[in-house]
Amino acid sequence: MILRLCATLIFLSIFIETSYPQNLMKDHKGRVQMGVQNAQCDDGRYNLEIDWLDDPRNYTCYHPRNKFLPIKSRPLLECDKIPDKYYPNHFCMNQQLQYSHPIPTHGDHRPLWPMFGEYQFVPTQRWLHNIEHGAVVMLYHPCTHPTLVEQLRKLVTGCIRKHVITPHYGLTKEKPMALVAWGCRLLISEVESSTVTDFIRKYALKGPEGDLPKEGQYTHALVKKADIPTGSDIKDSVLCPNFI
């Protein structure tokens, strides 16, 4: 009798810890609900290796003596035509996600999205939902010269709280930096403040949920949480408040 009771208690504790009501698992479109930590789907801690788990190849430059320097070339703006009724799907950590473009501007993703800020590395499968929330994602090839990275970082963090900054090997030596917003990407080889601020002012906060200030729950490899730019607020009501 005692053994049976103990077994029942163990079963109940496992059930309570790992199961969730079905109404928490689906949204009104029948997709896995975003922002709900669920050990059976995505809790932001386990099974991360399906996308990335601390592999240094994603953020390490393997020829550090030849960092990418500015190249005089025009910025390349690319915008995708996204159907009005398009809604990305949400996939648990038991399914692979791949994209047709190395820097997608929309697409299926994980249920937990990154807290806004800078990361040692954060996979595409995570930050794609941030741009649905109107965020701007700053990407840079790991071999980009640190001076360029710092120049771009200063502009992005001074323009918008809802940002994600991460290295990204999908970039090239000719265009080693990029900004991504809902539907559009800007590829650059040098940092011009007017180009960067114009992109942010025009394309930030335009995602399907661009007015939501809600933070994400994924924090793996977070280096620095985003701050509110001086002169703005948590809703990013003023974009690039300190730039002309």
Q: 194, 190, 162: which is closest to 178 by C-alpha?
A: 190
Cross-strand pairs, 188: 177
DSSP-derived pairing of the beta strands 184-188 and 163-167: unpaired
DSSP-derived pairing of the beta strands 163-167 and 136-140: parallel
Size of the chain in residues: 244
pLDDT at 30: 83
Higher pLDDT, 31 or 227: 227
pLDDT at 139 over 80: yes
Calculate the alpha carbon distances from 131 to 124, 152, 158, 180, 228 in Å: 11, 18, 18, 8, 17
> Hunting for tokens 């190395």 — which residue is that?
102
- In this structure, which amino acid lies at residue 89? N
- In this structure, which amino acid lies at residue 102? P
Domain segments of the chain as ranges: 2-225
Interval 193-203: pLDDT, tens: 999 999 999 99
Name the pTM for this structure: 0.89
Percent over 90 (pLDDT), the chain:
81
pLDDT at 11 over 70: no
